[in-house]
């Protein structure tokens, strides 16, 4: 182990404060295996950080926990790191993240030229020590992500992006009811839960959603796939996807987000006749060539717009409304998306709360909420059908989580954009990820209850 200007102290972890306590008066070139087992088993349960294989998060391939034998403090440079593990021979890649740090291990005696988050193994794995890690600066380690992380990941269509099955919809981020620190904490909690993609728009909370994301992702930008939208006019007076507006809007979004690129730039609820003018397409291509966006897509409210975009093969991702109560689009739109290899990003997966499980069959909506936008929403038939879906509830799975898993049953669905006002909702949403969705038997029963075409809810 090579150490540069660094005394390697004995470490303890205070779980109550999530801090690392060091006995700085002592020098340890490396913790022994006995010490590591004693300290880490005493203070940490489950996996350290987000530890999962690239085999769709199959932790069953890990026969025991991976323990780090070194900890890097903020601002210190280290040229060495030691670890021990006992992995199943089938494992050839593994990813380890400790808070803000992603360390690349090389299990041969070769220097590591870059810092990455995936580590490939070319032989059966036993106990190996990497000889050297190039000097780096690291942020403070957070120990809040432990065994709770169970997120699965999917490819976003033909792109190079791997997105968490559940994303974070931030239309409520930046609302005045919460403080700035509370909003930032929500984003950080999402990351702790394994969520690696957020969806926002330049009009959400008058631009404050993007502002809060920019602050929350400062120093963490490379850990989040960032999608935002363009086309709605503040304060939502209409739609504009003209080249001039797109160019202005992308610069404003980049400033608010404190980034120099957007991973997925989406047209916001465009109308078909505006799309067919095609002036927006050249602008998107230009922004990609400039490095300001990586991919582009569209968030659509109407099937005809989505189908046309897919038929013309003009987008990398499509964000339609889709949920258990309204699934007649699946055959047409999803078939085209599969054929074109376009990633589907589902919005309104809980039918604006109808599938959350909080409404009883006899619930009567009152007030001026979205429910009053269409009398059909409050119709007893719909709520009675939802009540019949409670067969999906079981220990460890709520109706809302089952509703999200229904969406994940479609392989073309890359991720679900799920909104959250509270941390508890965020945790519930993330808990729906299971890598497969509902079982075939559950899907058939759902379709029997709802009908093959589902129920329109607005």
CA distances 194 to 8, 42, 57, Å, are 30, 24, 11
The answer to whether residue 261 is catalytic is no
Per annotation, catalytic residue among 8, 204, 359, 410 = 204
Q: For residue 248, what are the contacts with CB-CB under 8 A and spacing of at least 6?
A: none
Q: How far apart are CA 226 and CA 261, in angstroms?
A: 9
Round to the nearest angstrom and report the end-to-end CA distance of the chain. Answer: 63
Pairing of strands 83-84, 153-155: unpaired
- 226-235 burial string, b = 16+ CB within 10 Å, else e? bbbbbbbeee
Q: For residue 252, what are the contacts with CB-CB under 8 A and spacing of at least 6?
A: 202, 207
Q: How far apart are CA 251 and CA 125, in angstroms?
A: 48
Q: How far apart are CA 253 and CA 76, in angstroms?
A: 34
Residue labelled with tokens 């984003």 = 187
Distance from CA of residue 442 to its chain's centroid? 25
The residues annotated with a catalytic role in the active site are 204
């Amino acid at each position: 182990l090579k150490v540069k200007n660094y005394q390697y102290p004995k470490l303890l972890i205070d779980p109550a404060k999530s801090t690392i306590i060091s006995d700085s008066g002592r020098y340890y070139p490396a913790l022994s295996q006995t010490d590591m087992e004693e300290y880490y088993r005493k203070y940490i349960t489950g996996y350290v950080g987000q530890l999962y294989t690239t085999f769709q998060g199959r932790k069953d391939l890990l026969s025991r926990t991976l323990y780090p034998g070194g900890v890097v403090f903020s601002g210190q440079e280290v040229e060495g790191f030691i670890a021990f593990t006992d992995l199943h021979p089938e494992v050839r890649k593994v990813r380890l993240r400790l808070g803000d740090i992603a360390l690349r291990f090389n299990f041969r005696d070769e220097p590591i030229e870059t810092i990455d988050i995936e580590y490939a193994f070319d032989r059966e794995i036993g106990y190996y020590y990497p000889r050297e890690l190039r000097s780096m600066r690291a942020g403070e380690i957070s120990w809040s992500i432990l065994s709770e992380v169970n997120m699965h990941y999917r490819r976003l269509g033909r792109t190079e992006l791997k997105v968490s099955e559940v994303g974070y919809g931030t239309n409520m981020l930046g609302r005045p009811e919460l403080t700035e620190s509370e909003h930032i904490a929500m984003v950080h909690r999402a990351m702790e839960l394994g969520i690696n993609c957020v969806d926002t728009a330049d009009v959400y909370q008058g631009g404050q959603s993007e502002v809060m994301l920019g602050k929350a992702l400062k120093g963490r930008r490379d850990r989040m796939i960032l999608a935002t939208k363009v086309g709605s006019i503040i304060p939502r007076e209409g739609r504009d996807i003209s080249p001039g507006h797109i160019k202005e809007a992308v610069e404003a979004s980049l400033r608010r987000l404190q980034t120099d690129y957007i991973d997925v730039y989406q047209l916001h609820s465009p109308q078909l006749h505006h799309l067919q003018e095609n002036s927006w397409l050249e602008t998107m291509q230009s922004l990609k060539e400039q490095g300001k966006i990586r991919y582009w897509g569209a968030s659509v409210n109407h099937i005809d717009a989505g189908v046309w975009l897919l038929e013309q093969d003009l987008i990398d991702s499509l964000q339609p409304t889709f949920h258990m109560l309204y699934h007649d689009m699946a055959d047409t739109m999803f078939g085209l998306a599969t054929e074109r290899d376009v990633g589907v990003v589902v919005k309104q997966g809980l039918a604006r709360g109808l599938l959350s499980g909080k409404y009883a069959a006899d619930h009567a909506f009152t007030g001026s909420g979205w429910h009053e936008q269409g009398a059909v929403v409050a119709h007893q038939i719909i709520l009675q059908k939802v009540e019949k879906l409670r067969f999906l509830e079981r220990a460890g799975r709520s109706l809302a989580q089952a509703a999200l898993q229904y969406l994940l049953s479609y392989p073309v669905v890359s991720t679900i954009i799920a909104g959250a006002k509270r941390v508890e909702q965020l945790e519930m949403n993330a808990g729906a990820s299971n890598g497969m969705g509902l079982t075939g038997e559950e899907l058939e029963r759902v379709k029997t209850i709802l009908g093959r075409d589902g129920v329109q809810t607005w």
